[in-house]
Structure formats: C-alpha cells, structure tokens
C-alpha cells in the first residue's frame, strides 16, 4: 500500500528512534558497547525513514 503523505514512514521512524533510545540507555547502564552500536543503527534508520517521509510529504 503506497502512502503518498509519508505517514507510515514517519510512524516507523518514531518507533525506530524510540527503540534506539531505549537500547542506548540500557547499553549505557550495562556498559554494553554492542548494544549501544545497535542503538545507533536503529536511530540512524529512524532518521532515514523520517527523511523519506518528509520527501513523500513534499511531493
């Protein structure tokens, strides 16, 4: 299903950024660099999805 307003991308973006933030906080608390690296991937994925959603919204 195509979403021309980019809403689904923005929703996925919010989920991935939140998931990344939680992993980052847990990784910091546990001093787990692997979890922190995984958190960074999730945050980056979320930012990318947000950008895609914004592009779709403009078109």
The pLDDT assigned to 2 comes to: 52
Does 2 map to a domain? Answer: no
Residues 10-36 have pLDDT tens digits of: 899 999 999 999 999 999 999 999 999
In a domain, 52, yes or no: yes
State the total domains in the chain.
1
Q: Would residue 15 count as lying in a domain?
A: yes
> Does 53 reside within a domain?
yes
pTM of the model: 0.81
Residue 44 lies in a domain: yes
Which domain covers residue 29, as residue numbers? Answer: 7-58
Assigned domain for 27 exists: yes
* 1 assigned to some structural domain: no
Nearest to 49 by CA among 5, 23, 18, 17: 17
């Amino acid at each position: 299903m195509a979403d021309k307003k980019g809403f689904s991308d923005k929703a996925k973006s919010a989920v991935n950024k939140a998931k990344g933030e939680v992993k980052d906080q847990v990784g910091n608390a546990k001093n787990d660099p692997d979890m922190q690296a995984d958190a960074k991937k999730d945050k980056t994925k979320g930012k990318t999805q947000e950008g895609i959603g914004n592009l779709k919204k403009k078109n």
